[in-house]
Amino acid sequence: MAVTEGILRRQSARESAARTYARALPIVPVRARGLTIEGADGRRYLDCLSGAGTLALGHNHPVVLEAIRKVLDSGAPLHVLDLATPVKDAFITELFHTLPPGLADRARVQFCGPAGTDAVEAALKLVRAATGRSGILAFTGAYHGMTAGALAASGGACDVSVTRLPYPQDYRCPFGVGGERGAELAARWTESVLDDPKSGVRHPAGMILEPVQGEGGVIPAPDTWLRRMRQITAARSIPLIADEVQTGVGRTGAFWAVEHSGVTPDVMVLSKAIGGSLPLAVVVYRDDLDVWEPGAHAGTFRGNQLAMAAGTATLAYVRRHHLSERAATLGSRMLSQLRDLAGEFACIGDVRGRGLMMGMEMVAAGARAGGGSAGDSGSSGAADPGGDLAGDLVDVEVAGARQSMGGPRPAAPELAAAVQRECLRRGLIVELGGRHSSVVRLLPPLTITDEQASAVLDRLADAVESVASSHAPHDDPRQPQRRRRRQGDRAERAG
C-alpha cells in the first residue's frame, strides 16, 4: 500500500497537469495478463479500457510476447528508420492480407511517426498533395488526435481549414429525428455544402471520418450513411479517409469497420491495435495517390521492429481465430444486457455500440433537456419488462433509442465519473468519453471469455445501482427488488 501511495504521490507532484487516465484511475499496475491487471498493492482489476482500445489480445498475450522475444533473441536491429527488414516485410504482408478488397491489390503503406495522430497528419498531407487542394471535411464529435501545428511550425504550408459536418446520431440527433431519416438529412447537408457555390466551402482535399466515433461517445455510423459518404466523395473526386485507429483489427465485429458497409476508402489511418500493444502507426492508401516526393513525409521512429513483430502476431491471431466474428456475437449479447440495465435505471439514457466497442450514456434522471417540470423524477416505464418501474416521466422510442418527451435528458458527466469510480472499487476499469464525458465506455480485449464478460457486466451493474441509489432524488423502494432480480440472474448463470 505504501509503495502504491508513494508512486501516486510522486506522479501527481512531478507529472503534467495534462495527465488524463491517471487521474481517474489511481492504480499502479505491475503485472498484467489478458483482461487482468494487478496493482502494486496486490489488487486485481478487469481492464475494459485496454490501453484505449489498443490491446486487441489483452495484456501480454503469449503470441505477442513470443514475437517480441524472437526479435530480441535474433540480434536484429531495433531501430532502423525506414529501412527494409524481414520483420517489416512480414508486417506489410500480413497487413495487406487483411485490407478491404479494392484497396489490398493497389495499396501503398507509409510508416509515419508512431502515434495515431501522426498517421492522421500524414493522411491529411497526402490528400492535399494528391489533389492540390487544401480544405478538409470532418464531422461533429470527431476525434483524430492531439497534434496541432507541428507541421506548420516546421515551415510547411499546413494551415488546414476544416469544415465540420453533422455526424449522424440517434440519441442527440441534431435534426431531432435520428435513425435512417436523421442520417439521410445529415448526408443531404453534406451534399448541399459541397454543391452550393455560396456555401463558403471550397472544393476540399479530402473527407476524414470514423466509422464508429469512439472518443465522441461510441456512435456507430449507419452503413447507409457511410455508403452515401462514399458516393458523395467519389462523385466529386474527394479522397475519403477512414480513421480506423480505434475501430480496426476486429474491434467492431469486422476486421476493419468499413467492411460492415462494403465501403472501400481511398486512405486508411491505422494505429493502436496494429502494433500489438507497442507504438506503431501507418497510412495505407491507393497507389494513384502516391504523389509524394522522397522525404515528403518523414519521422525518426518509423521502423519500430518490436512493434511490427508484435503487430504481425496480433493481426495474424485475430484473422486466424476469427476474433472479429467473436467480437460481433459477444458484443451484441453484451449490448443487449446493457440495454436491460438501462431499462432498470433511468440514469442510463442510451446504450450503443458495435462489436466490442460499447457505450452507455449517463443522463440526469430527474430532469428533461430544456427544463423539466417538478415531479420529473423517476424511471422509465418504457423498457421495464416487469412493469414495476413505471415512473413519472413518459419515455418514447426515437429510432430505437429511449428518450423522454421533449428530447434526451441532459448529459450527466458527474454520474459517469461516479460509475467509473464505483467500477474501480469493484475491480473493474472502464473508460469515459463522449461530448460531455458522460459516456461510460467498454473496450474489452477481443479474447474476453463469456465468464469474464458476465463478471464485467455484474460489476458494472452493481456500480450503476450504487450510483443510482446515492444520486436518487428520494429513497427508491424498488432498489432491493432490482437487486434481488439481478442476483437471481447471477445465481442462474452460475448454476
Pick from 45, 111, 143, 167 the residue near ligand PMP by CB under 6 A.
143
Question: Which residue's Cβ has the minimum distance to ligand PMP?
Answer: 116
For 268-301, b/e burial (b = at least 16 CB within 10 A) is: bbbbbbbbbbbbbbbbbbbeebeeeeeeebebeb
Which amino acid is it at 36? T
Query: In the complex, what is the shortest distance from the CB of residue 275 to ligand PMP, in angstroms, rounded to a whole number?
Result: 10
419, 430 Cβ separation under 8 angstroms: yes
For 35-64, b/e burial (b = at least 16 CB within 10 A) is: bbbbbbeeeebbbbbbbbbbbbbbbebebb
Pick from 50, 98, 110, 117 the residue near ligand PMP by CB under 6 A.
117
Does residue 124 interact with ligand PMP by CB under 6 A? no
Rank residues 245 and 383 by Cβ distance to ligand PMP and give the closer one: 245
Pick from 271, 324, 438, 447 the residue near ligand PMP by CB under 6 A.
271
Query: In the complex, what is the shortest distance from the CB of residue 121 to ligand PMP, in angstroms, rounded to a whole number?
Result: 10
DSSP assignments along 245-283, one per residue: TTTTTTTTSSSSGGGGTT---SEEEE-GGGGTTS---EE
248, 273 Cβ separation under 8 angstroms: yes
Rank residues 274 and 315 by Cβ distance to ligand PMP and give the closer one: 274
Q: Which grid coordinates belong to 344?
A: 432498470
Does residue 355 interact with ligand PMP by CB under 6 A? no
Spatial neighbors of 196 by CB under 8 A, at least 6 apart, are none
Enumerate residues 93-112 that contact ligand PMP by CB under 6 A.
none
Separation CA 15–CA 19 (nearest Å): 7
Query: In the complex, what is the shortest distance from the CB of residue 303 to ligand PMP, in angstroms, rounded to a whole number?
Result: 17
Question: How many residues of this chain interact with ligand PMP, rule: CB under 6 A?
Answer: 15
Rank residues 48 and 347 by Cβ distance to ligand PMP and give the closer one: 48
Rank residues 267 and 398 by Cβ distance to ligand PMP and give the closer one: 267
Rank residues 44 and 164 by Cβ distance to ligand PMP and give the closer one: 164
Does residue 52 interact with ligand PMP by CB under 6 A? yes
Which amino acid is it at 152? A
Rank residues 112 and 399 by Cβ distance to ligand PMP and give the closer one: 112
Does residue 116 interact with ligand PMP by CB under 6 A? yes
Q: Which grid coordinates belong to 80?
A: 532502423
Does residue 258 interact with ligand PMP by CB under 6 A? no
**In which element (H, E) is residue 30 found?**
strand 29-33
Q: Which grid coordinates belong to 8?
A: 501516486
Q: Which grid coordinates belong to 101?
A: 478488397
Query: In the complex, what is the shortest distance from the CB of residue 349 to ligand PMP, in angstroms, rounded to a whole number?
Result: 23
CA distances 315 to 5, 65, 102, 230, 348, Å, are 38, 14, 19, 26, 35
Pick from 115, 183, 254, 360 the residue near ligand PMP by CB under 6 A.
115
Does residue 167 interact with ligand PMP by CB under 6 A? no
CA angle 207, 208, 210 (to 5 degrees): 140
Does residue 243 interact with ligand PMP by CB under 6 A? yes
Does residue 246 interact with ligand PMP by CB under 6 A? yes
Separation CA 54–CA 30 (nearest Å): 18
Rank residues 218 and 472 by Cβ distance to ligand PMP and give the closer one: 218
Does residue 265 interact with ligand PMP by CB under 6 A? no
Does residue 431 interact with ligand PMP by CB under 6 A? no
Separation CA 108–CA 283 (nearest Å): 8
- Interacting stretch for ligand PMP, rule CB under 6 A, among 11-19, 116-124, 161-169, 286-294? 116-124
245, 123 Cβ separation under 8 angstroms: no
Pick from 245, 258, 383, 446 the residue near ligand PMP by CB under 6 A.
245
Enumerate residues 189-228 that contact ligand PMP by CB under 6 A.
210, 214-215
Pick from 128, 144, 286, 326 the residue near ligand PMP by CB under 6 A.
144
Does residue 145 interact with ligand PMP by CB under 6 A? yes
- Interacting stretch for ligand PMP, rule CB under 6 A, among 67-75, 201-209, 240-248, 337-345? 240-248
455, 426 Cβ separation under 8 angstroms: no
Could you list the residues that contact ligand PMP (CB under 6 A)? 52, 115-117, 120, 143-145, 210, 214-215, 243, 245-246, 271
